[in-house]
A and B are shown apart, each in its own frame.
Chain A
Amino acid sequence: MHVDAIECIKLTRTFKSKKKIVRALDNVNLRVSRGELFGLLGPNGAGKTTLIKILTTLLLPTSGRAYVYGYDVEKDFKKIRPIINMVSGGETSGYGLLTVFENLWMFSQFYGMPNKVATETINKLLARLHIEHLSSRKVRALSTGERQKLNIIRGFMTAPKIVFLDEPTLGLDVETARLIRKFVREWLREDKERTVLLTTHYMMEADELCDRIAIIDQGKIIALGTPDELKKMVKTDVSLEMEIFPAIKLDWIKSIEGIAGFTASESNGKTNLKLVTVDDSVGGEVVSNIYKHGGKILALHKREPTLEDVFLKLTGRGLE
């Protein structure tokens, strides 16, 4: 019987603090097929890490069920652990006074890897991620990007069937982030049984990498589909970006009909406005109001809808 890589059924997780109950996950239903690179996109505090913790058997659901390769995360966690691994962004695991190789070897032993296999695998992956020259360097001397490459190797060297990547490119430079994404894609292609669940709040990363994406906000899945399917949700909408000088207040925007969502930020005395509107005429009304309120439009772009626009439309706010 074919089982999905991941299945969540009415998954809920609450946390009790002294003052209130926080619903980190709220009736999440999800299915990830084997061989998929599945993305979980959402802002900070949406519930992404909570879901990963449940699926990696570090946290139990308050209600509902979750399965990894058909195994229940609550009852069969011992069967799940040999086939998974996880990598988080900004991870500082391991021991600073061990070398890169030694740290990786140590973690390989926790999965019972024979020495010879561990050594070969580690060396191969060090080369693939271009840090073979760092093999003998102590971990505490690594830069952030080098450290994250080490973490990635740690997560993939044990030949897991599923890898959980929790914001793996957080805080990394463009080149390192790109290399890691390329590595993940290639790793998946090598074996159709391999699956990756990736959480991120970088919509570009989700768009580029993922076969399917679930958008999560405040513990709920608010949209699910391929990147194209999701973008079609806003295809009929108009996405505009404007640069306004001088910076003006935009409270009046909410009163304009036809605005699906907007975000605004100020920098260098200018306001950068991103809008999703139902048609072009709404954009015109916004422009005339900008002039009425003393602003001048320095730049105006109409752009193709992005996942951020989808999020904007669904929640009324941005991903950042």
Chain B
Amino acid sequence: MNTILLNLRAIRGRAYPRVIGLMREPSWIFWETVLPVLSIAAFIYVYRSLNAPAMYEGFVVLGGVMTTYWLNVLWSMAAQLYWEKETANLQLYLAAPMSKMSILAGMAIGAIVSTTLRACTILIIGIFIFHVNFVVTSPLLLILVFISTLVALYGMGMLFASLFLMWGREAWYLNNLLQEPVYFLSGQYFPVKALGAVIASAASIIPLTLGLDAMRQILFPESASWGFLSPWIELLILVLLGVFFIICAKYALDKVEYLGKVKGTLTMRWQ
């Protein structure tokens, strides 16, 4: 059996329930459109209450869009292994010949539809309701940064997912912990340069940090002084991060699977 074909089919197989689930349980559409409205609007009004320049509202919209993908990584991919373990699917996945990364990729791809809808909703709200003005100074760079950020994010997500092979609820809570602190460190709604060079540098390991910073500079040229590094350098780092995380994820998934088999926690529920 050709390994590439096996894993492509596995990705397709795991993505399928995600896509079908979206159609059969359509109530998610409401939540994926209502929730973004609420959080984005709230933070835009925060800036308005501070009489901030209009571009800051743009930061909120941009941060909201990218955070959507981060949440997808955390909850539709990494944490999903926890649910698979709890519903006894994980052991069947592990006993099958496909790669674990195929399962994770399938989950992520399957969730891309709802994630992208949420991201688009945020964009539409930002542009048409709050009149945020995006100026795309370099479409190519923007696309490259966006894609590189996603690849690095999803690579990081796969790395986190490995924790769920060994841990149970600890990993779920760790996942939970990676929301607000990451929003702060990555400069979700504000330029990360405000945190100082040291913190911003350390936070650059989170793909969101440099991705957001680069996109802010591309979409809001007047915010250039708030840019941490040049967008091209940030793109390069993001590409390197993507490669790094994917390689680490492969290694970590194998290693943690091995540890899980030694400790007997691979199939243990309710840890």
A contacts, CB < 8 Å to B: 13, 15, 53, 56-60, 78, 81-82, 84-86, 88, 91-95, 97-98, 102, 105-113, 154
Asked whether A58 lies within 8 Å of B91 as measured between CB atoms, the reply is: yes
Given contacts A57-B95, A84-B95, A86-B92, contact A15 B13 (CB under 8 A): no
Could you tell me if A95 and B13 are in contact, using CB atoms closer than 8 angstroms?
A: no
Query: Is the CB–CB distance between B16 and A93 below 8 Å?
Result: no
**A58 CB contacts on chain B under 8 angstroms:** 91, 94-95, 261, 266-267
CA distance A94 to B88 in the complex (A): 9
Per a CB cutoff under 8 Å, which of B2, B16, B17, B96 touches A111?
B96
Distance in angstroms between the alpha carbons of A78 and B10 in the assembled complex = 15
Distance in angstroms between the alpha carbons of A110 and B25 in the assembled complex: 24
Taking CB atoms, residues of chain A closer than 8 Å to B9 are 109-110, 112-113
Report how far A107 CA is from B2 CA in the complex, Å.
17
Contacts A107-B92, A108-B13 known; 4 new A-B pairs at CB < 8 A: A58-B91, A82-B1, A106-B14, A106-B17
Known A59-B264, A108-B13, A109-B9: A93·B92 in contact at CB below 8 Å: yes
- Please tell me which one of the listed residues A53, A106, A112 contacts residue B16 in the complex, with CB atoms under 8 A apart: A106
Are the C-beta atoms of B10 and A53 separated by less than 8 Å? Answer: no
Q: How long is the Cα–Cα vector from A56 to B94 in the complex, in angstroms?
A: 9
A127 to B150 CA separation, bound complex (whole angstroms): 45
Which residue of B5, B17, B21, B25 is within 8 Å of A112 (Cβ)?
B5
Assembled-state Cα–Cα distance A283/B234 (Å): 88
CB interface residues, B 1-56, toward A, < 8 Å? 1-2, 5-6, 9-10, 12-14, 16-17, 20-21, 24-25
Which residues on B are within 8 Å of A, measured CB to CB? 1-2, 5-6, 9-10, 12-14, 16-17, 20-21, 24-25, 87-89, 91-98, 258, 261-262, 264, 266-267
5 contacts between A and B (CB under 8 A): A13-B264, A86-B95, A106-B13, A109-B10, A111-B6
Tell me, rounded to whole Å, the shortest Cβ–Cβ distance linking B99 to chain A. Answer: 10
**Contact, CB under 8 Å: A110 / B13:** yes
Q: Is the CB of B24 within 8 A of A97?
A: yes
Determine the residue in chain A with the shortest Cβ distance to B13: A109
> In the complex, which residue of chain B has the Cβ closest to the Cβ of A108?
B13
Q: How far is the CA of A83 from the CA of B92 in the complex (A)?
A: 13
B96 touches A95 (CB 8 A): no
Determine the distance from Cα of A95 to Cα of B15 in the docked complex, in whole angstroms: 12
User: Smallest Cβ distance from B266 to chain A, in angstroms?
Assistant: 6
How many angstroms between the C-alpha atoms of A107 and B12 in the bound complex?
A: 11
Given contacts A91-B88, A112-B10, is CB(A102)–CB(B20) below 8 Å?
Answer: yes
A107→B13 contact, CB < 8 A: yes
Chain B residues whose C-beta falls within 8 Å of the C-beta of A60 in the assembled complex: 258, 261-262
Q: Kindly list the 8 A-B residue pairs having the minimum CB-CB distance in the complex, ordered from nearest.
A: A109-B13, A112-B6, A110-B96, A82-B97, A81-B97, A60-B261, A109-B9, A106-B13
